[in-house]
Structure 1
């Protein structure tokens, strides 16, 4: 009895100590506390405001860009007519960019664009802004409220394929540079702008050839900013105010084909197991046994810690003490949280059979995986093989690549803190945090040119906005240009100082 009492008191003491420590941490924890950004204050004095006429011009240019269907269907199916039209549009609406003696411009792989704006201080390492011109296909029968290439404005939102992915960045960056050049701008730090034309189908022609050009020139970059995460306003339950998540890594991706071959037969004399049944069992095992949770092994934990001070109790208590409460996060089962915690497995295609009374010899399934930063393609394949556990099921890697390295985001990180400072200058109510981009971007082709790659676009996402999107991950519907393209204008003004 005495031993039990001692153990009980010891456990109680440990609990009290943990509670006191967690409470103190909750009251004092703020990863942004004392952060010094003065070293990267903006150094130019060019006015960043635009008048009403320029605002209307900006909107008109953007809507015209949306109306050009620069669709990429596959690596060999690009709308080259539309890409040619888009090239003409850029040259017409941004005449100063294309005629300035300060700007060096090169067309790459027929339809992509590379711009170089040299800085006055050659000792400063340049940076790069990325965006892409192409969009995914859009069918009016997929639930669109208006024609996907109409660029129609409804209640302050412009609707159309490419409004968010990714013509807002294309037009915003060039519009910013246009205004700056007109106002006599000359940067201290040089920078590149890369506009790919086939990002939606892998960037093999656009981004990869831009990289080849830069490598031939011996270019190394301080940092790269591409599309990626966004500003979430009211989307994260319990968070006080909007959060801007800057992608510091990008999940890897793999497409795996599973196949089963058996002798064909007739439905009147079915065997005990069919090719469809065997493959269905394998798929079911994959869905019933998801990849392991890797919370804390990648940068996702830092996302929660950066946001912790903006939550109310009791969530703030939990977020501020991940050392104690991380199992609670792991227990979360929502799809969006799940996507940050592990490698996700999605069976996207299942093909078999040609006739109702014939047993097919071949059954095939395609599995798409988005790979957590703490895993590799090889590790994922080993997990699938082990989980399926059936030699009759053949596995083939169709394509894949490992997750991107984690970029720096501490107080000494020039790129991250510059982007953060830009955001806070324009939107002081925003809480900035590092995050993992679960989609893929052209920036993955640039890893040899920069150690730090960031993925963020100033798109404001509010509750209900996702209902306007036409399909799963297709950024199809409107955004407020006043809060997105205009921000890009201001962004370049500050970052290039």
Structure 2
């Protein structure tokens, strides 16, 4: 909505871009973009289009989210984590609740889920683009954190342990494991014949999908628990962010024009977007939305009272109205 309002404003001012650009508004981004973004890519390929860069939603302006950071930081995602949807299933003989076995299928599966939650994936901080984030932000921390951030060649393990303490930053450190559904039983006096749980994993760029599956099998360690990969993909390539990076520098300049008090840094999006479908059309895909994230906001994403302030909405429109945002003016 903010993008369309901004375009109306620019058209009313007689704006004529120096370069062509496309606005892609898909209807199914939250479920993978298989009918929205994927069809847009198909049409663009048919037309022989190659893009300088792609910009999608993703990261935001973090204010008070990263412990010890002095001031807000606008994080532009250079990549995003991979994803795996895994189903765990246990089947046992049904029966009457008055004669229960020592372990029911619910108990077996619950124990497997507990092992997954108590044994997280390995700490991988420093092996992906998250290291670049903190190297860029080092000067915005006080001592001793500034010294640690400036010497990540030595202190990456230390910083990883600090970041994993909060859910908001634990996703930068490792592949995360979230049990999102658990189904079993149909009646209170009947032993169920099967139980299943669904696990959502967001895969760190330094880890492959197969490595994640191997780790799940090893952690569950019970042949009675059948493990099935429903869907999954690895993290996409990391986009450029140096001084010669056309897309990154355009986004950075626009953000600083609208939000002059922020520090801009590259980052990794711990969620998923449908921008991954555009990887054959460009080598640079960025993920950023000009909205503020403050303590408490992260819990509202896909949760209760998800919102944006009127002031921030206007700031977003102001960002989208900047001609530089559209391929350099």
TM-score by length of 1: 0.63
1:329–1:401 CA distance, 2 compared to 1 (3 A)? same
After TM superposition, list the pairs within 5 Å mapping 1:311-460 onto structure 2.
311-332=141-162, 333-460=165-292
Evaluate the alpha carbon distance shift between residue 245 and residue 439 of structure 1 in structure 2; reply closer, same or farther with a 3 A threshold. Answer: same
Query: Contact 1:419 / 1:495 at 8 angstroms: preserved in 2?
Result: no
**What is the match of residue 482 of structure 1?**
314
Please state whether the residue corresponding to 1:193 is helix, strand or coil.
coil
Alpha-carbon contact 2:168-2:298 (below 8 Å) kept: no
Q: Deviations over 1:428-473 (max 9, x none)?
A: 2211111111111120111111110000011022345457x37549
| Structure 1 position 482, deviation (Å) | 2.3
1:186 paired with 2:16, answer: yes
SS, match of residue 196 in structure 1: coil
In 1: Cα distance, 2:36 partner to 2:260 partner = 36
Provide the rounded CA distance (Å) in 1 between the counterparts of 2:310 and 2:291.
Answer: 7
The residue number in structure 1 matching 2:88 is: 258
Structure 2 Cα separation of the partners of residues 290 and 466 of structure 1: 21
Question: What is the CA-CA distance between 1:241 and the residue it aligns to?
Answer: 1.9
Could you give the per-residue CA deviations for residues 37-87 of structure 1, whole angstroms, max 9, x where no partner exists? Answer: xxxxxxxxxxxxxxxxxxxxxxxxxxxxxxxxxxxxxxxxxxxxxxxxxxx
Query: Alpha-carbon deviations, 1:467-497, whole Å to 9, x = none?
Result: 7x37549844435222222221125567432
Give, in whole Å, the separation in 2 of the partners of 1:391 and 1:191: 53
Q: Answer with 217-226 or 457-466: which moved more.
A: 457-466
The corresponding residue for 1:300 is 130
For residues 227-266 of structure 1, the aligned pairs below 5 Å read 227-266=57-96
Q: Which has the larger radius of gyration?
A: 1
Distance of 2:25 and 2:219 partners within structure 1: 41
Asked whether 1:496 is paired with 2:323, we answer: no
Number of the residue aligned with 1:200: 30
Deviation digits for residues 88-119 of structure 1, max 9, x if unmatched? xxxxxxxxxxxxxxxxxxxxxxxxxxxxxxxx
Unmatched runs of 5 consecutive residues or more in structure 1: 1-170
Residue 234 of structure 1 deviates from its aligned partner by 3.2
Corresponding residue for residue 109 of structure 2: 279
Query: Does the CA-based 8 Å contact 2:83-2:203 persist in structure 1?
Result: yes
Maintained 8 Å contact 1:177/1:492: no
Deviation of 1:222 after TM superposition, in Å, equals 0.7
- Report the CA distance shift for 1:340/1:493 in structure 2 as closer, same or farther (over 3 A): closer
Whether the aligned pair in 2 keeps the contact of 1:248 and 1:454 (CA below 8 Å) is yes
The residue that corresponds to 1:156 in the other structure is none
CA RMSD, Structure 1 to Structure 2 (Å): 1.9
Q: Between the two structures, name the one with larger relative contact order (CA 8 Å, sep ≥ 6).
A: 2
Q: Provide closer, same or farther for how the CA distance between residues 452 and 179 of structure 1 changes in structure 2, counting only shifts above 3 A.
A: same
**Paired residue for 1:290, among 116, 120, 141?**
120
* DSSP-derived class of the 1:194 partner: coil
Paired residue secondary structure (2:217)? helix
Alignment of 1:68-217 (within 5 A): 171-217=1-47
Task: Using structure 2 for the length normalisation, give the TM-score.
Answer: 0.93
Task: List alignment gaps of at least 5 residues for structure 2.
Answer: none
